[in-house]
Amino acid sequence: MKEEMQQYIENKLKSMADEDYLKFQMKICPQAKNRLGVRMPDLHALAKEIYETYGLDYFRYLKSDYYEEIMLEGLIIGLLRIDLEQIFEYIRKFLPKIDNWAICDSFCASLRLARWKRNKEAFWNFILPYLQSKREYEVRFAIVMMVDHFVINAYVDYVLPLLDTVKHKGYYVIVAMGWLVAEVYAKCPYAAAYYMCNCHLDDYTYNMITQKITQSKKVIESDKIVVRLRKRI
């Protein structure tokens, strides 16, 4: 089954390749390697087909030669209906494969925590150690998970102070931090404003946050004016 599955997936991906989309991908995410140019709706559909056909056997024989094969693995993890600790183990094995923001962010979005509402705290505790990882995209994973799933009343008071503990200075970590604060600013402006007045971030990170807030379409213009005035010189 190994060779049959691997060949089927590769052929399917190549048949869905879109040269125009590949050119677009190369512009917005130049870090990604060995791409075919398959659109996300097609990858989601293929992930569902693979999981329904092969189940967990897929993880025994998967390949990671193409960008899209890595993306598929992340999307299939998001489809899993198994014990939570087993899901965590698949996530742990997957994270070191992430080497660009597109796979990271698509993976985080695929982990629809509404499916595991009773286990939201377990997911929260799972992602926290990754804030201290030495790998850029593992830190980004933790932050983007907060963006996607934890900018809610029960967690908002805990989310932002954790950013002061992040030591990694990778560009895509800092951009994610800015994105997170912007999302909080849109939903809980007083909490975000308080954090910005009391945080211990370096100037570059702080100014990236102000940039992301002022670029956000979710933040009202009057708040953007205040944020611009707070930018560090």
Structural domains of the chain in order of their starting residue, each with its CATH number: 1-111 (no CATH), 114-233 (1.25.40)
Residue 129: partners with Cβ closer than 8 Å, 6 or more residues away: none
Structure tokens at 15: 């048949």
pLDDT at 116 over 80: no
Q: Please classify residue 53 by burial: count the beta carbons closer than 10 Å to its beta carbon, then call 0-12 exposed, 13-18 middle and 19+ buried.
A: exposed
Q: What is the rounded distance in angstroms from the CA atom of residue 108 to the CA atom of residue 64?
A: 19
Structure tokens at 64: 């990671």
The amino acid at 44:
H
> pLDDT tens digit string along 143-160?
999 999 999 888 998 999
Predicted pLDDT of residue 230: 84
Predicted pLDDT of residue 2: 82
Residue 160: partners with Cβ closer than 8 Å, 6 or more residues away: 180, 181, 184, 191, 192, 195, 199
Q: Are 147 and 104 in contact (CB under 8 A)?
A: no
Range 22-42 burial, b when 16+ CB lie within 10 A, else e = eeebeeeeeebeebbbbbeeb
* Mean pLDDT of the region 61-69: 94
Q: Which of 196, 92, 113, 210 is nearest to 155 (CA)?
A: 113
Structure tokens at 98: 């992430």
Alpha helices in 78-202 (DSSP H): 84-94, 101-110, 120-127, 136-149, 156-162, 171-187, 189-198
Q: Are 155 and 144 in contact (CB under 8 A)?
A: no
> pLDDT tens digit string along 16-51?
999 999 999 999 999 888 999 999 999 999 999 999
Tokens 């600013």 belong to 185
pLDDT at 212 over 70: yes
- Percentage with pLDDT > 70 across the chain: 98
pLDDT bucket at 117, cuts 50 / 70 / 90: low
> pLDDT tens digit string along 165-201?
999 999 999 999 999 999 999 999 999 999 999 999 9
Predicted pLDDT of residue 118: 74
Predicted pLDDT of residue 39: 97
pLDDT bucket at 75, cuts 50 / 70 / 90: very high
